[in-house]
Amino acid sequence: MERMRKAAVVLNGFIHDFATGYWLSAMIAIHFLHRFQGEYPAVAALLGRMERFFFWNSIAAVVVIFATGGMRTFTYVDNFYGPGAEKTRRRMLMVKHVVLIALFAAGGCWAYLRAFH
């Protein structure tokens, strides 16, 4: 049973990291697709559909990131590095997540404005 639990923790972390990378990749794809629409007006409609595909996939990626991130909170062992380091680690994690949530929100707004211009 412990072996399955460890495998689930690793799989959850992999999915979390993969979804984060996918979200960033979708933002990059939206940027280039939006730019190409101006350069290639003959295929602008098709590029717009692709933009919207990546936008909705980026929303799904954020949902996966939040769900797997929530599960990650239950996999860390308290005081693994000692009480002082654990306090600092938790504070740094909170700051990191505030920054990342702001980036997800700003990126989502930016992507929406590009995909549905």
What are the domain boundaries of the chain?
Answer: 2-115
Query: What is the structure's pLDDT at 77?
Result: 64
Query: What is the structure's pLDDT at 85?
Result: 81
- CB-based burial of residue 86 (10 Å sphere; 0-12 exposed, 13-18 middle, 19+ buried)? middle
Distance CA 87, CA 95 (A): 13
pLDDT tens track, the chain, 117 positions:
888 988 999 999 999 999 999 999 999 999 999 999 999 999 999 999 999 999 999 999 999 999 999 888 777 766 667 778 878 888 898 899 899 999 999 999 999 999 998
**8 A C-beta contact, residue 30 and residue 111:** yes
Q: What is the pTM of this model?
A: 0.85
